[in-house]
Structure formats: C-alpha cells, structure tokens
Structure 1
Amino acid sequence: MQLDPASGWCEGAQVCPSPNFNARPTDEISLLVIHNISLPPAQFATGKVQEFFQNRLDVTEHPYFAGIADLRVSAHFLIERDGTVTQFVSCLERAWHAGVSVFEGREICNDFSVGIELEGTDDQPFTDVQYEALTGLTRHLQRAFPAITPQRICGHSDIAPGRKTDPGPAFDWVRYRVALAKEEQQ
C-alpha cells in the first residue's frame, strides 16, 4: 500500500467514494483520529458501513438504521476485521468523521485531521490484522503528512469527550503505539 501525496488516495486500498466531504480550509493535515463502527451495531462484514458512507443505507433493513438515516458522515478509511482497507475520501479533502470536536484547544478537527474507522465496537477486541493494517496505514500517513506525530494520534473520545466513546476500551493503545515505534526504528 502506498499513499500518493499528490492525490491523497492510497494505492492498494479499495476505493468506495463517499459524497460526504468538502474542501479543507487550509492544506494542513496534522491529526489522526481513530474511530470504531459496525452496522448494525456489533455485526461485522455486512457492507453496511460502506452503504452508510455513500448515503445508500436502506433504513428498512434494521431498526437501528432509522436513527441514523439523516446523518451524512464519512471517514477517510475503514479497516475491516479481515484487515481490508477501504478509502472513501482523499486525504486532501475534509471527511466528515469528527463532528463537534476539539484538539488542544482547536475546534473543528475535520479541518486538519484524517479519520480511520476500525470495524468493531468499544468492548470487543480488534483483530491482529486490523492492528497490522492500522500500523502500516499510519506509517504511510505520517510519511506523507509529517505533522501527524505520535502525540497527534488520538481517539474520537479524546476530541469529543462525553459525546463519543470510540475507539473504546477494547482498543489496545499500548500495542498500537509500540508497533508504530518499532516500525519507526526499522
């Protein structure tokens, strides 16, 4: 997998374009936000996240979908349980993943962040291949956007406390950060 800094698209990722994005107010990309998602909740490999990010979710298929029917959201990337990486929005564009958010006193984190969704829930362990894919993708993003330092990688819960809980307690931050540091030394 390779990120093309000129286009913001990751070669080797599946492409599933979302209409839910707009232009960044500046060229700054300096924050990485980790999320989790599953649709319906706690069900995996349904293809419903992709449909949701493309505004094609059939709200009659599950009662939960009625409550999210009017949302227009996206992320830059989704990493599924099997490690498959899908990209929805160019990293050079503003995906709509963070919502009302603040990082180090700065609001509207979508303006300067990249969002990665992990297929999962707050309380179920993520898979080994998800951590491997996340680590690899993070390194590509850091090479393309050096302002994304280890200190500027956070969870959705960190930038929207009280409103969001993801990636949740099941996400192993130590494992992820150790893997990033190890890869950085190689």
Structure 2
Amino acid sequence: MSFFDGWLPQAVRYDSPYFDARPGPVPDDITLLVVHNISLPCGQFGGPHVSDLFCGRIDYNTDPSFADLRGLKVSSHFFIRRDGRVIQYVSANDRAWHAGLSSFRGREKCNDFAIGVELEGSDFVAFEAAQYEALAALTIALQQHYPLTAVQGHEHIAPGRKTDPGPLFDWEHYQKLLKKAAMLVGASATLGFPVGLP
C-alpha cells in the first residue's frame, strides 16, 4: 500500500468537509494511531449512515437515535467495513475530527498528531477477521509513511468518556497480525500498545 498526498489509493474515497490543517509539522508530528468503533444505528452494519455522518449529509429523520447527532461535526481518516473494505474521508496529512477531548503521554488534543481508524462495529459484537487483516495492513502502510510510535484505543486517550473499540477488540490478535504483515513487506512492527498488553 502506498499513499499520495495522504490518500491511500486502494481505499474508497469519500471527502469529508470536517477537517483542518494540523498545527505541527507533517509528517514528523503524526505519531499516534487511534482505533475506534462505530455503527449507525448502533449495532446495525452495512448501511450508508456512517459515511453520511462523516460527510455531513446524514438524514437525521432516518432513525430516532440520530436526533442526538444533529449538529455534530465529526470525521475519521479511515473506516473499515465488516468485510475489510477500507474507506477514507480525510487525508492523513490533515487533521480529522475523531478523538475529541483526549490526551496521550501528557499531550492534549490527540487529533493534532493522530490518525483515526474507525472499525464498523460496537462494544458488544466481536469484530470480523477481515477487519483485523485490513487494520494490520493499513497500520503497516501508515508506518511506512508516518513516524507512528504508538497505537491506542479511543478508550485509552479519553478514559471515562469513551469505551471504544471496546472489550471485544482483540488487541493481541491485532498485534500478531501486525507482526506477520510487517514481515511480509520487510517493515518494522514496533509500536507502543495500551498498558497491560505484552
């Protein structure tokens, strides 16, 4: 996988209006990968609503739960569907609005220096094998273009406020796939993982 101006050619591209310039130097300041989960409505997969939300075109009348989303301006760099398809909304060189109030290693505003990846899912449903494979491949590709030093869940950079990717995300499996993917391309799989993981 390769990037052109922060865009992954292999990904389906939907441009989000919800981004701005990073305050730090690109790519030197892009050091964190944040893993999230999302589904709209919660627990329902395969629909257009996540992309509609990130692209500012969601129909709030589609589902009663969408009323809470009214006026929300959020985005992510990437979204990985249940079948492993990757969608990109914001150039990795730019700042997507995915982390909100957050901090990592004493630094606030993780959006400034992070790349966000949303997995189609919820805290209550196991993720698919294809999603782990796609996430590992994407992570290695990102490492080859950006000086990533750590990967964290949204729950780790916004504890008490966020819970994703949730208890059913298998961090150890992701680590194993990451090492395997790195070996295939002769890359390094060295990344700091959440505290408590080997």
Do both share a fold (TM > 0.5)? yes
Amino acid paired to 1:112: F
Give SS of 1:25's match.
Answer: coil
Aligned to 2:127: 126
Q: What are the superposed Cα offsets for residues 133-175 of structure 1, whole Å, 9 maximum, x if unpaired?
A: 1010000000101x213xx100000000000000001100000
Output the CA distance in 1 between the equivalents of 2:43 and 2:20: 30
Output the CA distance in 2 between the equivalents of 1:44 and 1:2: 28
| Deviation for aligned residue 1:70 | 1.2
Give SS of 1:166's match.
Answer: coil
Q: Percent identity among equivalent residues?
A: 51
| Deviation for aligned residue 1:178 | 1.2
Output the CA distance in 1 between the equivalents of 2:117 and 2:130: 15
- What aligned pairs does 1:82-97 form with structure 2 within 5 A after superposition? 82-97=83-98
Tell me whether 1:36 sits opposite 2:34 in the alignment.
Answer: no
Structure 1 unaligned residues grouped into runs of 5+: none
Output the CA distance in 2 between the equivalents of 1:81 and 1:185: 25
Structure 2 unaligned residues grouped into runs of 5+: 185-198
Output the CA distance in 2 between the equivalents of 1:67 and 1:104: 31
Amino acid paired to 1:85: V
Amino acid paired to 2:181: E
TM-score between the two structures when normalised by the length of structure 1: 0.95
Aligned to 2:181: 183
Aligned to 1:165: 163
Amino acid paired to 1:42: G
Output the CA distance in 2 between the equivalents of 1:183 and 1:39: 30
Give SS of 1:51's match.
Answer: helix
Output the CA distance in 2 between the equivalents of 1:94 and 1:185: 30
- What aligned pairs does 1:1-186 form with structure 2 within 5 A after superposition? 1-4=1-4, 7-26=5-24, 27=26, 28-145=29-146, 147-149=147-149, 152-186=150-184
CA RMSD of aligned residues (A): 0.8
TM-score between the two structures when normalised by the length of structure 2: 0.89
Give SS of 2:118's match.
Answer: strand
Amino acid paired to 1:126: F
Amino acid paired to 2:33: L
Amino acid paired to 1:167: P
Amino acid paired to 2:12: Q
Output the CA distance in 1 between the equivalents of 2:3 and 2:58: 29
| Deviation for aligned residue 1:183 | 2.4
| Deviation for aligned residue 1:179 | 1.1
Output the CA distance in 1 between the equivalents of 2:44 and 2:158: 24
| Deviation for aligned residue 1:2 | 2.3
Corresponding pairs, count: 181
Q: What are the superposed Cα offsets for residues 100-126 of structure 1, whole Å, 9 maximum, x if unpaired?
A: 000001000000000000000012110
Output the CA distance in 1 between the equivalents of 2:132 and 2:3: 18
- Deviating runs (4+, > 6 A) in structure 1? none
